[in-house]
Amino acid sequence: MAATGMTTMEVRKINRHNIYTFIYEQKTTSKQAIVEALHLSLSTVTQNLKMLEEEGLICRSGYYESTGGRKAQTIEIVRDAQITLGIDILKDRVHLTAVDLYGEVTAKISRELPFSADDGYYRSLGTLAEDLIRENDLDPKRLLGAGIAIQGIITADGTAVSYGQILNHTGLKLSDLSRHIPCKSLLFHDSKAAARAELWGRKNLVNAIVLLLNQNMGGALILNRQIFDGLSMHGGLIEHMCIDPDGPDCYCGKKGCLETYCSADSLKKAAGSSLDQFFRNVRRGDVKSCQIWNEYLEKLAYALRNLLILLDSEVIVSGLLASYMTQDDFDRLETLVAELSPFPIPEHILLPGQHGPLAPAIGSALFFVERWLSQV
C-alpha cells in the first residue's frame, strides 16, 4: 500500500471495477479466468464475486464443459441490472427506448406528439415514459436516468436549449421538460446523440462525419473518438453549410443551407408525397421520382465532397432516410462523391447508420450507461 500511495479502500474499489469490467467485456467467463487475467488472488476474486452477486450485478449462468475436473461455473453480468431511457423529441413525434448495460434496446415506443413548450406536453412526455416502464415490467429502482435528444443547440451542462429555431424553444429548461419523467435527465443535441450511438457500436471508429437524415437534417463530427462540440456547442452542425447563397430560405434565417436540400422534409416537399410512396415510386423506376432522388443525392454528394476535404474520414449516414436507402443508393452516392473529389477516396467510405430513426434516442441513453460503467 505504501509503495502505491493508495489506501486499502481505493485498492478494493479498483479490484471491484476491474473484475466487473473483465466480466462485462468477456460476456461469459469463469472465476479462474478472472484470477489469471487480472493477476489477483483467488480469495480476492471470490470475495468480489460474492459482493457483485449479492448486489444483483452478476449471475452464475451455467457450467463450462468439464476438462477432467470439477466443472467451472460460467459468470455473466446481469444485463438489465441497470436500465436507461432514451427519448428523441421531434416536431410531431417522440421516440422512447429502454437500453440495457450492453446498449441493446429492450423496449421502445414511437408516438405522434406535436411539440409544445407547455406543461400539457411535459405531462404527455412523462406519461409515455411511465407507459414504457409499466408495459415492459421495467424496475423503476434500476433506472440510471433518461437522456433526452432534441433539435437545437444545448448548453454544455445539458440543462437548457440555447438555440432552438425548429421547435421555437430557445431557452427551454431541462427542469421544465423533464418535470414528469420519473428519473434524472439530461439534454443532448439529436445528431450528436446519434453520433454517440455510432461510436458505441463501432469500437474501431476513430474519425467520422455523421449525417442524420431526419425530418430536419442534422450532422456531427467525431474526432479521435470524441464528439466535437466546438467553442459554442455548434461544432459539426453541417446542416447549415451553405451550398447555394441564392437557394431556398432556411429556418435559421439564411439561404441555401444543406438543410433546405437534404432533409427528409425537403425531399417530401419535392416529391409531393409521403416518403413511403416516394420510395416505392423510385424502386419501380418512376422517371420523375428517380430524377428527384438523383438530384437529392447530387446535392448531398456535393456537400460531402467539401466535408471530406476538411476531414478525411468515413461518413456515417443515419436517421429516417437512411432506413429507406439500399446498397445501390450508397454505391451511387459514393460514386458521385468520388467524381466530385479532387483526390481519390477509399472504397466503402460511406457506412449506413446502425439504428435508423432511433439513433438519437439510443445515443442519449448510452451516456448514462457509459458513465455508470466507468464508475461501477
Radius of gyration of the chain (CA): 24
Amino acid at 45: V
* C-alpha cell at position 58: 452478476
pLDDT digits (tens, 9 = 90+) for 336-363: 999 999 999 998 999 999 998 999 999 9
What global pTM score does this model have? 0.92
Amino acid at 250: C
* CA-to-CA dists, residue 180 to 121, 145, 160, 187, angstroms: 10, 13, 16, 15
* C-alpha cell at position 333: 452516392
Q: What is the pLDDT of residue 207?
A: 97
Residues constituting the chain: 376
Taking the C-alpha atoms of residue 147 and residue 87, their distance in angstroms, rounded to an integer, is 6
Average pLDDT, 10 consecutive residues per value, the chain (376 residues): 72 96 97 96 97 96 73 92 97 97 97 96 98 96 97 96 94 97 97 97 96 95 96 93 94 95 96 97 97 97 95 95 96 97 93 94 98 96
C-alpha atoms less than 13 angstroms from C-alpha of 236 in its C-beta half-sphere: 28
Taking the C-alpha atoms of residue 207 and residue 226, their distance in angstroms, rounded to an integer, is 8
* CA-to-CA dists, residue 254 to 211, 245, 247, 251, 258, angstroms: 20, 8, 9, 7, 11
Beta-bridged to residue 59, according to DSSP, are: 76
Of the candidates 95, 112, 92, which has an alpha carbon nearest to the alpha carbon of residue 264? 92
Q: What is the pLDDT of residue 2?
A: 43
Q: Map out the domains of the chain with their CATH numbers.
A: 8-77 (1.10.10.10), 83-194+359-374 (3.30.420.40), 203-353 (3.30.420.40)
Q: What is the pLDDT of residue 3?
A: 47
Q: What is the pLDDT of residue 69?
A: 65
Taking the C-alpha atoms of residue 360 and residue 198, their distance in angstroms, rounded to an integer, is 10
pLDDT digits (tens, 9 = 90+) for 98-149: 999 999 999 999 999 999 999 999 999 999 999 999 999 999 999 999 999 9
Burial class (CB in 10 A: 0-12, 13-18, 19+), 154: buried
Residues 6+ apart with CB under 8 A from 371: 144
Strand pairing report for 143-150 and 105-112 = unpaired
Taking the C-alpha atoms of residue 61 and residue 164, their distance in angstroms, rounded to an integer, is 48
Of the candidates 255, 251, 206, which has an alpha carbon nearest to the alpha carbon of residue 227? 206
Taking the C-alpha atoms of residue 91 and residue 113, their distance in angstroms, rounded to an integer, is 8
